[in-house]
């Protein structure tokens, strides 16, 4: 078989990007695909409607061994950024909420400890997180500080002997209500620098309010966190997080995961739409036979292929160690815009059925709205690229 045998990849991987993976990578991708299709897809709409996280599915996810995939810390998988990205796409292709759960636990929370923790802290937390015996959350955003969090972060950390006292509010924090560990970013009142703290569930003074009535990513449990005199030992301060530049290192790694998720969300919607157009008949023919319907299908496929190509290249730059912030920002901004367009077209070709959950496309349309905004909005990512290409920052 030729290395470029396109019959060996799914039809929706039209240009055969999966063939860039080695055999092990392909095997893992196919395992994740099988699991998502057979275990998650049949139950996910019900969880989405009830806005409940499928805790009973966690052991099955743990067996896949994909938490913290690109990290090479103790007992972490240490696989390529390209494989990690394709797995994110694969998760989102069936359900963007599950992809987001992994983005928070395996991406942001494990990434904070991998990049900012001491060796001892990595040994203490990463193996159990990789096995998903401990689940993580990442608390950065605040009610009054979203895009402007770097300069605005108002949660405070005050050193008191061998411990720190945290006070403030966080908003939107995924997994927070059930995570075992929440990474809280707070400003040291002494030196005004942002530092990271691993706060264990149940620590006195840390309480949550679930974000209810979301119209997107309803399976993800987002919460506001209230921190009132929360005391954490010095051993829980991430030893290598000295300023917001270190927080940004984590975001730099995970932003690409979101670009891949956007591509997966678009791809899932396209696949459902394509299948539907072959089954639905009007005027005595499958609607797939109408030129205007084919036009939308081909536009969707073009968006998915273009977004995948950009994600592949930026992930290759990550693996080569030459990626820059603006590369990931371009991929996130581009693929989320294309995603929004694609899910809209998918909904269009389903007619009225496009707004019913049973056909899945409606869930992708809704979930796309959250992916569009989190981990840097389109505007913020555009400004990052704009600054890089013009040399002039236009943020304020």
Ligand X SMILES: Cc1cc2nc3c(=O)[nH]c(=O)nc-3n(C[C@H](O)[C@H](O)[C@H](O)COP(=O)(O)OP(=O)(O)OC[C@H]3O[C@@H](n4cnc5c(N)ncnc54)[C@H](O)[C@@H]3O)c2cc1C
Residues that bind ligand X (CB under 6 A): 104, 138-141, 146-147, 172-174, 217, 222, 370, 373-375, 377, 379-380, 395
Kindly state the helix (H) or strand (E) to which residue 39 belongs, with its residue range. none
**Smallest distance, ligand X to C-beta of residue 139, A:** 6
**Smallest distance, ligand X to C-beta of residue 215, A:** 10
Residue closest to 111 by CA, chosen among 124, 122, 100, 99:
122
Query: In the complex with ligand X, which residue's Cβ is closer, 18 or 246?
Result: 246
Query: In the complex with ligand X, which residue's Cβ is closer, 17 or 71?
Result: 71
**Smallest distance, ligand X to C-beta of residue 356, A:** 23
Q: 287 phi and psi, to 5 degrees?
A: -65, -20
**Smallest distance, ligand X to C-beta of residue 275, A:** 28
User: Is the separation of the CB atoms in 168 and 142 below 8 Å?
Assistant: yes
Query: In the complex with ligand X, which residue's Cβ is closer, 115 or 273?
Result: 115
User: Is the separation of the CB atoms in 258 and 381 below 8 Å?
Assistant: no
Query: In the complex with ligand X, which residue's Cβ is closer, 221 or 315?
Result: 221
What CA–CA distance (Å, rounded) separates 229 from 15?
54
Query: In the complex with ligand X, which residue's Cβ is closer, 182 or 350?
Result: 182
Query: In the complex with ligand X, which residue's Cβ is closer, 91 or 312?
Result: 91
User: Is the separation of the CB atoms in 45 and 360 below 8 Å?
Assistant: yes
What CA–CA distance (Å, rounded) separates 258 from 337?
12
Query: In the complex with ligand X, which residue's Cβ is closer, 35 or 218?
Result: 218
Kindly state the helix (H) or strand (E) to which residue 174 belongs, with its residue range. strand 163-174
Query: In the complex with ligand X, which residue's Cβ is closer, 25 or 168?
Result: 168
Query: In the complex with ligand X, which residue's Cβ is closer, 60 or 395?
Result: 395
What CA–CA distance (Å, rounded) separates 83 from 43?
26
What CA–CA distance (Å, rounded) separates 201 from 173?
14
State the residue for tokens 């923790």.
Answer: 117
**Smallest distance, ligand X to C-beta of residue 152, A:** 9
**Smallest distance, ligand X to C-beta of residue 325, A:** 15
Residue closest to 193 by CA, chosen among 225, 155, 235, 162:
155
Contacts 24+ apart (CB under 8 A), 201-204: 203/230, 203/231, 203/232, 204/230, 204/231
Closest residue to bound ligand X by CB? 146
**Smallest distance, ligand X to C-beta of residue 253, A:** 14
**Smallest distance, ligand X to C-beta of residue 285, A:** 40
**Smallest distance, ligand X to C-beta of residue 193, A:** 18
Q: What is the DSSP letter of 105?
A: I
Contacts 24+ apart (CB under 8 A), 147-153: 147/376, 147/377, 147/379, 147/380, 150/194, 150/244, 150/247, 150/248, 153/185, 153/186, 153/187, 153/194, 153/244
**Smallest distance, ligand X to C-beta of residue 238, A:** 15
The full length of the chain comes to 396
Query: In the complex with ligand X, which residue's Cβ is closer, 147 or 289?
Result: 147
- As given in the structure block, the two tokens for residue 59 are 């052991």
Q: How far is CA 252 from the centre of its chain?
A: 12
What CA–CA distance (Å, rounded) separates 344 from 375?
22
- As given in the structure block, the two tokens for residue 53 are 């996280």
DSSP letters for 12-36 = TSTT-GGGGS-HHHHHHHHHHHHHI
């Amino acid at each position: 078989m030729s290395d470029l045998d396109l019959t060996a990849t799914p039809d929706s991987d039209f240009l055969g990007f999966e063939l860039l993976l080695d055999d092990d990578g392909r095997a893992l991708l196919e395992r994740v695909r099988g699991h998502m299709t057979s275990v998650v897809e049949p139950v996910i709409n019900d969880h989405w409607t009830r806005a409940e996280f499928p805790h009973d599915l966690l052991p099955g996810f743990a067996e896949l061994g994909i938490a913290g995939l690109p990290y090479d810390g103790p007992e972490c998988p240490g696989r390529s950024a390209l494989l990690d990205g394709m797995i994110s796409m694969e998760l989102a292709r069936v359900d963007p909420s599950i992809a987001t759960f992994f983005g928070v636990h395996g991406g942001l929370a494990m990434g904070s400890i991998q990049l900012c923790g001491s060796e001892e802290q990595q040994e203490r937390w990463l193996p159990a997180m990789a096995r998903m015996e401990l689940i993580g959350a990442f608390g950065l955003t605040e009610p009054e500080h979203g895009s402007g969090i770097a300069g605005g972060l108002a949660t405070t950390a005050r050193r008191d002997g061998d411990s720190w006292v945290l006070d403030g509010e966080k908003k939107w924090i995924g997994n927070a209500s059930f995570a075992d560990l929440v990474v809280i970013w707070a400003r040291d009142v002494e030196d005004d620098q942002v530092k990271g703290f691993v706060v264990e569930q149940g620590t006195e003074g840390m309480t949550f309010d679930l974000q209810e009535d979301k119209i997107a990513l309803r399976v993800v449990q987002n919460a506001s966190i209230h921190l009132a005199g929360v005391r954490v030992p010095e051993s829980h301060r991430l030893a290598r997080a000295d300023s917001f530049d270190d927080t940004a290192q984590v975001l730099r790694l995970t932003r690409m995961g979101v670009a891949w998720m956007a591509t997966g969300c678009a791809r899932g919607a396209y696949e459902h739409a394509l299948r539907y157009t072959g089954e639905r008949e009007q005027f005595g023919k499958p609607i797939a036979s109408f030129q205007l319907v084919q036009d939308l299908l081909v536009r969707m496929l073009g968006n998915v292929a273009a977004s995948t190509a950009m994600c592949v290249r930026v992930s290759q730059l990550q693996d080569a160690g030459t990626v820059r912030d603006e590369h990931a920002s371009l991929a996130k901004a581009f693929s989320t815009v294309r995603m929004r367009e694609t899910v809209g077209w998918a909904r269009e070709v389903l007619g009225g059925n496009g707004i019913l959950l049973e056909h899945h496309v409606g869930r992708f349309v809704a979930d796309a709205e959250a992916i569009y905004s989190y981990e840097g909005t389109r505007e913020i990512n555009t400004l990052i690229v704009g600054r890089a290409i013009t040399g002039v920052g236009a943020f304020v």
